[in-house]
Amino acid sequence: MYTQALNNPAVEAGVEDEEKLAAFQARIDREEKIEPNDWMPAAYRKTLVRQISQHAHSEVVGMLPEGNWVTRAPSLKRKAILLAKIQDEGGHGLYLYSAAETLGVSREELVDQLLTGKAKYSSIFNYPTLNWADVGAVGWLVDGAAIMNQIPLCRCSFGPYSRAMIRICKEESFHQRQGYDLLVAMMKGTAEQQEMVQDAVNRLWWPALMMFGPSDKDSKHSAASMKWKIKRFTNDELRQKFVDATVPQAKVLGISLPDIDLKLNEETGHWEHGEPDWDEFYNTIQGNGICNKQRMKDRIKAHEDGAWVREAAQAYAAKQAAKKSAA
Amino acid sequence: MTDTALFTYCMRLADDSAILSQRLGEWCGHASHLEEDIALTNIALDLIGHARELYTYAGQIEGKGRDEDALCFHRVEREFNNLLLVEQPNDDFAYAIMRQFLFSAFMHPFWEAMMNSKDEQLAGLAAKAEKEAAYHLRHSAEWVIRLGDGTEESHNRISDALEFLWMYTGEMFECDEVVSSLVAKEVAVDPMSIKHLWDETVNTVLARANLERPTESWMQTGGRKGEHSEHLGHILSPMQYLQRSFPQAQW
Ligand SMILES: [Fe+2]
Ligand SMILES: [Fe+2]
Ligand SMILES: [Fe+2]
C-alpha cells in the first residue's frame, strides 16, 4: 500500500546547463505544463517537493483541530458534515503526497520529515479549537484563506500539482460555504451562540491572515517561485484579496473583526488592515504555538500505534505474493 | 395511532447506528494510515445516515414532535437500546475492526432481508443500507483476514478482540415480543432466519484469517432493555453535551 517513488532522479547539483535552463524557462513562459519526467532544474524540483509536501502535511495535521469536535458535534447533520469535511482533508493529503511522489520522493520519507520536525505545516493548525463555532470559523476563514492561496495554484506550472489543486479547490470552496452556514445558523440563535461565534472569529482572524506567510518585504521564496509560475501572486496580494472578500461576509454575518485599523480605502476599493503579530507567527513556526507540541504528539502517536497494522498489511501482502508466485 | 413496537424497533436500529458511528468517529485523524482514516470515516458516515432516517421515522411514528436530534441527544443511558457490541471501546484497531466485522456480518443479510419488509420506509432504507453494509462487511472482513494472517502481533491482537467481543454477538439474534410481533406482520426481520448466513460469513472469514471460532459460551444481554456496559455513559456525555448545555439552541 506504500508505493515507493518510481523515478528517483540523480540530484542535479550545482550549476545547471544554460541551454536546458533557457528551454525550460521558455516552456514556462509559454504556460506549458511541466510533467514529472520532463527535465527540470534541481531547485525547481526542490521547491515543489517542499511546497507540495508542506501542503500535504497541512491537510493531515489540519484534521486534528476539527477532529477535536467530531464526538461533540451538536446535531447529527452537523456531525456528518464535519466528518465528511475532515475526510476530504485526508483525501487532499493523499492526492498531494501522490503529486510529491512524482518528483522522486516517497510518502514514507515525507511523513518521516513531518514526524521528526524537519518539515513544516501551516501555522494555523497550531491554534486550538475551543468552542463549536471554531468549526464554522475554520471552514469560513481557514478554508477561505486556503482557497485564495490555492486558486492561483490551479495554474501552477507543474502538471500534477496543478491538477491536484483543481480537484482540491472545488472541495475547499464547499467547506468554506458549509463553515459560513454553520456560523449563520449560530448567529440566528441564542446570545450564547452569538458570543461563541464572535469569540471564535476573534481568535482565528489573525492566524488566518498569517496563513499567507510573511509580508513581501520579508519573504524569502517568492522571486524564483514567481519566475517559475509556481506562485503567481505575492503573499501580501493574496492576503489583501482575502481581506477584501471576507470583510463584507463578516458584515452580513453580523460580527466584528478584531482589527481597529480595518477601513475601506474609497480610492483603491481595498480594505486596509493592520499588521498581524509577526512575532507570534515566527514563534509558532518555530514550534512554540499553543498546540505545536500536542499536534506532533498526536501524529506521532497515531503513526506509532498504527505501526503494527501497517506491518501486518505488508506481511499479509508478501505472503499472498509468495503464494501466487509458487502457484 | 402510535405503533409502539415499530417505534421501539426503529429506535433500536437507530441507536445501533448512532452509537457505532460515534465510536468510529473517535478514530477520525488517528488511524494507522490515511487510507484507513478515510475508510473508517466512510463507514461512520453511512451509519449516521441510517441513524438519521431511522430516528426521523421513529419520531413520526411516535407523533410527539421529536426529531432526529431530540431522540439522539435528549435521552439518557437507560433509554438507549443499542446492542452492547457497538458500544465496546476502540481498545485498538483490532477491536474496532472485529466489532465492525461481527456487526456487519449480521447487518448485511439483515438489510437484504429487510428489503422485503411490508413497511415501505424500512424497505426503502434497506435498499440503500444493504449496499453500504456490503462494503462495511467487505472492508472489515479483509482486515480481519490481513490481521489474522499478518504478523504474530496482529494475529494475537485480532484473536484477543475476537475472544473478548464474542460474548456480545448473541444479542443480535434475540427475538423478544417487539421483534416477534413485527415479524408476524412481515415488517421486521426474524434474526434467526439469517443466523445461518452470519455463521457462514463468520466461519469462512475466521478460517481464512487462521482464527478459531470461540466455543459457544455465555452471551451477554441487556442492551435492548437499556441495561448497558459502563461505556455507554461515556459515549453519551461528549455526544450530548452541547444539546444538553444549550437546550434552546438550534445548530
Ligand atoms: Fe483541504
Ligand atoms: Fe488545503
Ligand atoms: Fe478544506
Please give the full DSSP string across B137-166, using - where no structure is assigned: HHHHHHHHHHHHTS-HHHHHHHHHHHHHHG
The sign of the dihedral angle between the CA atoms of A289, A280, A67, A74 is positive
pLDDT band at residue A221 under the 50/70/90 scheme: low
**Interface mutation vs chain A, best among B20, B28, B237, most A CBs within 10 Å:** B28
Q: What is the pLDDT of residue A224?
A: 84
B135 C-alpha to center of ligand 3: Å? 26
pLDDT, tens digit, for every residue of A241-281? 999 999 999 999 999 999 999 999 999 999 999 999 999 99
Q: What is the pLDDT of residue B2?
A: 63
The arithmetic mean of pLDDT across residues A290-297, rounded, is 96
Give A296 or A226, the one with higher predicted confidence: A296
Task: Give the list of residues 6+ apart from residue B160 with CB closer than 8 angstroms, or none.
Answer: B94
**Interface mutation vs chain B, best among A1, A53, A63, A75, most B CBs within 10 Å:** A75
Cβ neighbours around A17 below 10 Å, total: 12
Residues 145-204 of A with CB under 8 A from B: 182, 185-186, 188-190, 192-193
Tell me the one-letter amino acid at A92: H
ipTM comes to: 0.97
The arithmetic mean of pLDDT across residues A102-116, rounded, is 97
Q: What is the pLDDT of residue A14?
A: 61
Q: What is the pLDDT of residue A218?
A: 83
Query: What are the two backbone dihedrals, phi and then psi, of residue A10, each rounded to the nearest 5 degrees?
Result: -60, 135
Q: What is the pLDDT of residue A16?
A: 82
Question: Does pLDDT of A9 surpass 50?
Answer: no
Q: What is the pLDDT of residue B81?
A: 98
Q: Say how many CB pairs under 8 Å bridge A and B.
A: 148
Check B145 against A64: CB less than 8 A apart: no
Chain B residues touching residue A298 (CB < 8 angstroms): 29-30
Q: How many Å apart are CA A123 and CA A110, to the nearest integer?
A: 18
Instruction: Return the ∠ at Cα B111 (arms to B107 and B113), rounded to 5°.
Output: 115
pLDDT band at residue A96 under the 50/70/90 scheme: very high
Q: What is the pLDDT of residue A11?
A: 41
Question: Does pLDDT of A5 surpass 50?
Answer: no
Residues 233-272 of A with CB under 8 A from B: none
Cell of A21: 535552463
pLDDT, tens digit, for every residue of A20-44? 999 999 999 999 999 999 999 999 9
Q: How many Å apart are CA A253 and CA A255, to the nearest integer?
A: 6
Taking the Cβ of residue A130 and every Cβ of chain B, the question of whether any pair is shorter than 8 Å is answered with no
Cite the DSSP H helix spans in A151-259.
159-187, 191-210, 222-227, 235-253
The arithmetic mean of pLDDT across residues A192-219, rounded, is 95
Per-chain mean pLDDT for chain A = 93
Positions in chain B whose pLDDT score sits under 50: 1
Q: What is the pLDDT of residue A15?
A: 75
pLDDT, tens digit, for every residue of B144-199? 999 999 999 999 999 999 999 999 999 999 999 999 999 999 999 999 999 999 99
Distance of CA A99 to the CA centre of its chain: 14
What global pTM score does this model have? 0.95
Q: What is the pLDDT of residue A223?
A: 81
Answer yes or no: are the C-beta atoms of A144 and A246 closer than 8 Å.
Answer: yes
Share of chain A above pLDDT 70, in %: 95
